[in-house]
Amino acid sequence: MVAGYIIAITGATSLIAILITFASILSHLLNYRKPFQQRLVIRIHLIIPFFAVSCFATIVNPFVGLNILAPFREIYEAFVIYTFFSYLTTILGGERRIIIATSGREPIRQLPHVPTWILPRVDISNPYTFLSIKRGILQYVWIKPLLFLITIMSQALGVYDENDFSFHSIYFWISIMYNVTVSMSLYQLAMFWKCLYQDLKQFNPWSKFMCVKLIIFASYWQGLLLSLVNYFFSIDNQLTTEIENSLLCVEMVGFAILHWHAFNYEPFKKQNMPECGRLSLKYSIKDFMGIEDLIFDFRHTFNGDMYGYKTFDSVESIIAHPESKQFSDRILNKGMRYSRGSSRTYWLESSSLLRSESTNSYQSVQSHSSNNRKPVKDDFDPEQLVKDDKLYSYVKRHYPFGDPNCPVITEEDSYRYSRNFKQRRRDLA
């Protein structure tokens, strides 16, 4: 039986953490001017209520907390790691901008004093390397539900024992698999962080990074430490569970405050974004709860069909760093060629690429280059243009205020904070 004062303290701290988080989320919803960023921020915030409710429920009703709420909490924890990666990608301008902006940079050494033949350097400007990092982070989201199903089946068969660390224990092997997947996910996130740290510095990333790292540390390693204490000192299993979840309930207040400051809504206020409209509360809620962006990203990351060299080719045509010889050879084999003193690029057609590979000579590639630069065809269909004009006229006539499914609210006094208004005020002073 749990003591009454423990229930009171954990209940109060859980409620405080939830209220702080919802206040922060509401602030974002009322200043919803950058949906692509703020929907990710809100999804990261929601891990606090997941933890607070799950941990308190485990203290009050262990069956509901451990068997119903805790698994969903752990799956959402994996989802938050991926969401944080998406957030970092978004604030840097998207995947294409990252890959193009890092072209020509020196590849990053993964670990100091480790030979590169063991751990090769990371060149994030290579689309396939970027895809590998993204998959390494996302695999945790894919594998975590499978571990959850294995755990449920093991519990149903009566072979799941959290106090059994022997090689024949299913709990031992599930823990190993969990450690491998979460470590790989966090390691790939750290590689992404290391490659782009100079670009991320302007966004004050450390507090945001600690929000994600610390909550994972508190949820898993704290529980693992208590399990080891239980194993060596034979403490009651129920008491260990109560201690773990009580600590998490109290810690959630600190995490909620940290999330409030790290993912603050201030940059999205009308004073800081006077030229931007915002979505109403109703549509901002619909936006962050939508899953279309997740389905799209999950599918294309799994298939990898959008991560080719041509997709991320830049008109700036920056030559890869000398340390990226493997990347350079690979992109040349795919058909990319430089011209005009390496200031321009073009792509060989498949047939020309096969011929150049068969002859295996630079002269053959050079001789085919002029023949492969074909003029761009005019693909405009006059009938389609007429249809587009009719559609434009219809929309302009019936929807003068924009898309009815995504109405934007403009602040009447936002002009006071615009750059032009501030400049005119200074000129008149």
Q: In this structure, what DSSP letter does residue 202 have? A: G
- pLDDT class of 369 with cuts at 50, 70, 90: very low
Say which residue, 299 or 336, is predicted with more confidence: 299
Which pLDDT does position 252 carry in this prediction? 94
- pLDDT class of 32 with cuts at 50, 70, 90: very high
- pLDDT class of 312 with cuts at 50, 70, 90: low
Q: Retrieve residue 308's tokens.
A: 């080719």
The whole-angstrom separation of Cα 429 and Cα 422 is: 11
Which pLDDT does position 363 carry in this prediction? 45
Whether residue 89 has pLDDT greater than 90: yes
Q: Retrieve residue 289's tokens.
A: 């709860």
The whole-angstrom separation of Cα 256 and Cα 274 is: 29
Of the spans 70-74, 124-128, 132-136, which averages the highest pLDDT? Answer: 132-136
Q: Across 205-339, where does the E strand assignment appear?
A: 278-279, 336-339
- What pTM, to 2 d.p., does this model score? 0.77
What are the structural domains of the chain?
4-292 (1.20.1070), 382-428 (no CATH)
The whole-angstrom separation of Cα 258 and Cα 211 is: 7
Question: Mean pLDDT score of the chain, rounded to an integer?
Answer: 80
Nearest to 87 by CA among 139, 159, 35: 35
The whole-angstrom separation of Cα 46 and Cα 28 is: 13
Per-residue pLDDT of 159-177, as tens digits, reads 887 777 788 888 889 888 9
The alpha carbons of the chain give a radius of gyration, in whole angstroms, of 27
- pLDDT class of 404 with cuts at 50, 70, 90: low
Which pLDDT does position 265 carry in this prediction? 94
Whether residue 368 has pLDDT greater than 50: no
Per-residue pLDDT of 190-225, as tens digits, reads 899 999 988 998 888 888 988 888 887 777 778 778
CB-based contact 11:56 (threshold 8 Å): yes
